[in-house]
């Protein structure tokens, strides 16, 4: 497959033979929330998987611990200042070590049967592309890769015969219920959103919410950046853009509904009125297991749904006044060209500044919208165009942030 999620589904029949040897897994971003959940599944299925490569950014202590436990062929720390510590801790272990972003891409490029793309942000683009360019099967958690370079990534997938399997819980849900062989029969995709920690807070209080409050997601435990994106609902905007690349549906037919319980992970409606949904408890080990075992299924330790005690599943329309990020992301998708790249880059900078206490919560989306509005649209024909648009948007957003008052 894939190819993409689309093609992956169509080809699943070709791959029903169990592997004679364990699947060798490379985990890009192994020290993060998704990376650790992936390793948890690998540890529980030691006969089925082995680790080929692990990469981290700065958390060298956890990377060392993981490398000593899983014994990959290759362990990489992106921040070169931690190389000496990694090297000395793994001396004599048989694990080859390296540092720097080129080495992270090298970890993706080296042979493995399956690559987990779980780096956060646009930093994940080039390593993910490196895996795609060798025709790898890639589990994609790193949605920013598709947001900032979707056309180039999809073209590379087609050119190199790679397979992209969605890991984001919403896209995994759609992947499981979208009949790719009858795509024209799909009337719409409905992405569910929990609404995050500020769904019901008084709008007047939003200006003073703290990073600690923003990362305290009611249903999911995730890394800091995606948690803040969930609080602004930019995460859902990024997911609409991600879905527009993964599934053959016009972007206008990708909708969002608030579903605070996070039990239905997304839905597909067909032209006959049938709606197929995927349900489960909010535990990323389920969608990771779907992608890891694809096209088979594997056991995951996620808590089971207890329908008798579940109570009500509720839905409401998103409040675009409270969550302008959804509107801004949709506009960027509609504009196309470099707009999603600018959106993503400005958002990464603004979220980073908010987490460091430099700006207020409501400034995040304001800065993203102003950055988008101030930059001209231009096509992205190459990776260097993407890099240039990303760098210019970061610089533009940083200038705007510097002019803002600091939170009290
Ligand atoms: N967490 C979830 O439940 C969830 C659900 C759906 C989708 N996703 C997506 O999955 C991706 C990862 O999310 P997460 O929550 O796992 O994030 P996270 O906990 O922050 O982990 C990010 C990982 O990427 C590494 N990393 C960060 N910056 C890097 C850089 N510049 N170069 C190389 N490596 C870098 C980190 O290394 P260090 O630990 O050394 O910093 C860590 O291993 C994101 O794109 C997110 O949107 C996450």
Q: What local confidence, expressed as pLDDT, does residue 16 receive? A: 47
Greatest CA span in the chain, whole angstroms? 62
For residue 234 and ligand 1, the question of a CB distance below 6 A is answered with: no
Residue in 32, 60, 281 to alter for ligand 1 test, most ligand atoms within 8 A of Cβ: 32
Tell me the two tokens of residue 190: 């409905």
Q: What local confidence, expressed as pLDDT, does residue 6 receive? A: 56
For residue 104 and ligand 1, the question of a CB distance below 6 A is answered with: yes
Please, are residues 56 and 63 in contact by the beta-carbon 8 Å criterion?
yes
Tell me the two tokens of residue 343: 């959106």
Residue in 40, 57, 284 to alter for ligand 1 test, most ligand atoms within 8 A of Cβ: 57
Tell me the two tokens of residue 105: 């891409």
For residue 352 and ligand 1, the question of a CB distance below 6 A is answered with: no
Q: What local confidence, expressed as pLDDT, does residue 8 receive? A: 61
* Ligand 1 center from residue 372 Cα (angstroms): 25
Q: What local confidence, expressed as pLDDT, does residue 219 receive? A: 87
Q: What local confidence, expressed as pLDDT, does residue 2 receive? A: 44
For residue 219 and ligand 1, the question of a CB distance below 6 A is answered with: no
Distance CA 194, CA 200 (A): 11
Q: What local confidence, expressed as pLDDT, does residue 221 receive? A: 86
Split the chain (408 residues) into runs of 10 and give each run's mean pLDDT: 52 50 97 98 97 98 98 98 98 98 98 98 98 98 98 98 98 98 97 95 93 91 95 98 98 98 97 98 97 97 95 95 95 98 98 97 98 98 98 98 90
Q: Which atom of ligand 1 is nearest to the CA of 104?
A: 33
Residue in 120, 142, 239, 387 to alter for ligand 1 test, most ligand atoms within 8 A of Cβ: 120
The CA distances from residue 217 to 120, 141, 408, in Å, are 17, 18, 24
* Ligand 1 center from residue 127 Cα (angstroms): 13
For residue 152 and ligand 1, the question of a CB distance below 6 A is answered with: no
Residue in 99, 128, 141, 265 to alter for ligand 1 test, most ligand atoms within 8 A of Cβ: 141
For residue 223 and ligand 1, the question of a CB distance below 6 A is answered with: yes
Distance CA 136, CA 114 (A): 7
Q: Which atom of ligand 1 is nearest to the CA of 169?
A: 6
* Ligand 1 center from residue 145 Cα (angstroms): 12
Q: Whose CA is nearest to atom 24 of ligand 1?
A: 119
Q: Which residue has the tokens 């979220």?
A: 351
* Ligand 1 center from residue 353 Cα (angstroms): 17
The CA distances from residue 130 to 17, 149, 156, 287, 390, in Å, are 27, 14, 10, 23, 19
* Ligand 1 center from residue 119 Cα (angstroms): 4
* Ligand 1 center from residue 33 Cα (angstroms): 7
* Ligand 1 center from residue 344 Cα (angstroms): 15
Residue in 223, 229, 237 to alter for ligand 1 test, most ligand atoms within 8 A of Cβ: 223
Distance CA 354, CA 406 (A): 10
Q: Whose CA is nearest to atom 35 of ligand 1?
A: 57
Tell me the two tokens of residue 218: 């009611």
Three-state secondary structure of 294-360: CCCCCCCCCCCCCHHHHCCCCCECCCCCCCHHHHHHHHHHHHCCCHHHHHHHHHHHHHHHHHCCCCC
Distance CA 113, CA 23 (A): 6
Distance CA 202, CA 194 (A): 17
Please give the model's pTM, rounded to 2 decimal places. Answer: 0.96
Distance CA 148, CA 351 (A): 16
Nearest CA to 243 out of 382, 140, 157, 368 is that of: 140
* Ligand 1 center from residue 17 Cα (angstroms): 32
């Amino acid at each position: 497959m894939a190819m993409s999620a689309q093609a992956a589904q169509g080809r699943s029949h070709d791959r029903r033979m169990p592997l004679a040897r364990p699947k060798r897994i490379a985990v890009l971003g192994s020290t993060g929330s998704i990376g650790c959940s992936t390793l948890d599944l690998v540890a529980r299925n030691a006969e089925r998987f082995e680790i080929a490569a692990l990469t981290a950014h700065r958390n060298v202590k956890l990377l060392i611990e993981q490398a000593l436990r899983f014994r990959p062929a290759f362990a990489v720390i992106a921040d070169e200042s931690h190389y000496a510590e990694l090297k000395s801790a793994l001396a004599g272990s048989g694990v080859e070590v390296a540092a720097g972003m080129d080495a992270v891409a090298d970890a993706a490029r080296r042979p493995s049967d399956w690559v987990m793309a779980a780096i956060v942000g646009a930093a994940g683009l080039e390593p993910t592309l490196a895996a795609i360019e060798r025709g790898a099967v890639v589990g994609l958690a790193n949605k920013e890769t598709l947001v900032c370079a979707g056309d180039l990534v999809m073209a590379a997938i087609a050119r190199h015969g790679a397979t992209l399997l969605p890991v984001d819980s919403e896209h995994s849900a759609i992947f499981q219920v979208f009949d790719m062989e009858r795509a024209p029969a799909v009337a719409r995709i409905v992405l569910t959103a929990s609404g995050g920690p500020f769904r019901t807070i008084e709008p007047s209080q939003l200006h003073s919410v703290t990073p600690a409050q923003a990362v305290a997601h009611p249903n999911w435990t995730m890394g800091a950046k995606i948690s803040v994106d969930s609080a602004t609902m930019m995460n859902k905007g990024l997911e609409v853009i991600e879905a527009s690349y993964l599934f053959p549906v016009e972007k206008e037919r990708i909708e969002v509904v608030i579903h605070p319980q996070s039990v239905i992970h997304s839905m597909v409606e067909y032209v006959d009125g049938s709606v197929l949904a995927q349900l489960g408890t909010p535990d990323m080990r389920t969608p990771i297991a779907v992608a890891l075992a694809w096209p088979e299924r594997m056991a995951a330790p996620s808590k089971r749904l207890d329908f008798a005690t579940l109570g009500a599943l509720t839905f409401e329309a998103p409040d675009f006044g409270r969550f302008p990020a959804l509107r801004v992301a949709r506009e960027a998708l509609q504009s196309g060209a470099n707009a999603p790249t600018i959106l993503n880059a400005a958002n990464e900078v603004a979220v980073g500044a908010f987490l460091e206490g430099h700006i207020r919560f409501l400034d995040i989306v304001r800065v993203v919208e102003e950055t988008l509005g101030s930059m001209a649209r231009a096509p992205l024909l190459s990776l260097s165009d993407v890099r240039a648009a990303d760098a210019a948007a970061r610089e533009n957003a940083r200038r705007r942030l510097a002019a803002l008052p600091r939170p009290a």
